[in-house]
Chain A
Amino acid sequence: MTTSDGAMAGAQGAKADLVSAIPKLRAFAVSLCGNADRADDLVQETLVKAWGSLASFSEGTNLTAWLFTILRNIYYSEYRKRRRETPDPDGAMAARLVAPAAQNAHMDFLDFREALQKLPVDQREALILVGASGLSYEEAASICGCAPGTMKSRVNRARNRLADVLALGALRGPGDGDARPSAIAGD
């Protein structure tokens, strides 16, 4: 019997897969909760839980989607718990969002992330899953346990809301005019 060899190979393979999924997990976690420290706690819990239930993962399906589902479930059970304790001050969360200032090339950059963080969480996660991580509506819907149509309407509402914020930002002022050459040339 080579049970231990098999287990070792399986464990190593699983570990490698999980390691390569960590950046996406962290990105999703930060987008969800807007706080880098909490995001990493979420990722840690997700990895432990995923490791424990690797047997229930069916080989050949989307590992990232499976991990997102676990992370999301942990987030929501924790979120509900914390909400009863302390309401999240939106501004503080947004301020702690991982935002490398050096890469801040557009004036809308921070506005955008702040606006994103102020969306209702169901809309934000819809936008991140579909608009950023590139999952299909169907995959995103199965992660969130809703119908693809519901996912679509969440994405649309989120986009409309962000569009309003960005349009206001554009009206608000010429902070740095050369940051939006296309808008000027277009009009």
Chain B
Amino acid sequence: MANSNPRNAVIDRKRPVSEENAQSRPAAAGRPAAQASESVVLLEKRRRNAALETASSEGESRRAKEIGDQIGKELRELYADLVAQPVPERFLDLLNELEAKTISPPTTPKSPGER
């Protein structure tokens, strides 16, 4: 609450000055002091906003990193679970069969009674 009041004051003050600038540029050039204080206020405001943004984006990026780490962990766990499953017999049988064929290629490759 206390914070918002000075900010409003800055905005209120800014409007007439910039309107005046738009209306009579030569006159504005003759008032460097007013412009200087105006830009100091604007700079200060910008600095404060930037600080706020950095704070929230730091929180966000920390959270994004947490989620990213979690994704990596889940992926590795999923893969590890799958890799840890026992190899079904059917694959070992299949490879034995393929191997047997390679070592002693049958003279009649696809005779019906062979398997």
A residues at B contact (CB < 8 Å): 4, 7-8, 11-12, 15, 18-19, 22-24, 26-27, 30-31, 40, 43-44, 47-48, 51, 98-100, 103, 106, 108-109, 112-113, 116, 127-128, 131-133, 159, 162-163, 166-167, 182-183, 186
Contacts and interface: CB of A to CB of B under 8 A. Distances in A.
A108 B74 CA distance: 9
Contacts of A113: 78
Given A47-B98, A131-B71, A186-B62, 11 more contacts: A4-B103, A15-B95, A22-B91, A31-B79, A31-B82, A40-B90, A51-B95, A116-B75, A116-B78, A131-B76, A159-B71
* Nearest 10 Cβ contacts at the A-B interface: A27-B82, A132-B79, A132-B75, A131-B75, A23-B83, A11-B102, A51-B98, A112-B74, A163-B67, A27-B83
A78 to B, nearest CB: 18
Contacts of A15: 95-96, 98-99
Contact of A23 (B64, B70, B75, B84): B84
A168 B72 CA distance: 18
B94 A48 contact: yes
A7 B82 contact: no
Interface residues of B, number: 32
A57 B42 CA distance: 67
Q: Is the interface of A mostly helix, strand, loop or mixed?
A: helix
B84 A159 contact: no
A103 B82 contact: no
Interface in B7-47: none
Contact of A128 (B71, B75, B84): B75
Contacts, number: 97
A27 B94 contact: no
Interface string B76-115: 1011011111011011101110110011100000000000
B81 to A, nearest CB: 6
A46 B75 CA distance: 24
A4 to B, nearest CB: 7
Contact of A11 (B70, B76, B99): B99
A31 B85 CA distance: 14
A7 B96 CA distance: 14
A4 B103 CA distance: 7
B66 A183 contact: yes
A107 B104 CA distance: 54
A27 B67 CA distance: 23
A23 B103 contact: no
A79 to B, nearest CB: 19
B63 to A, nearest CB: 8
Contacts of B104: 4
Nearest to B62: A186
Interface core residue of A51, A99, A183 (most chain B CB under 10 Å) = A51
Given A11-B103, A15-B99, A23-B83, A166 B67 contact: yes
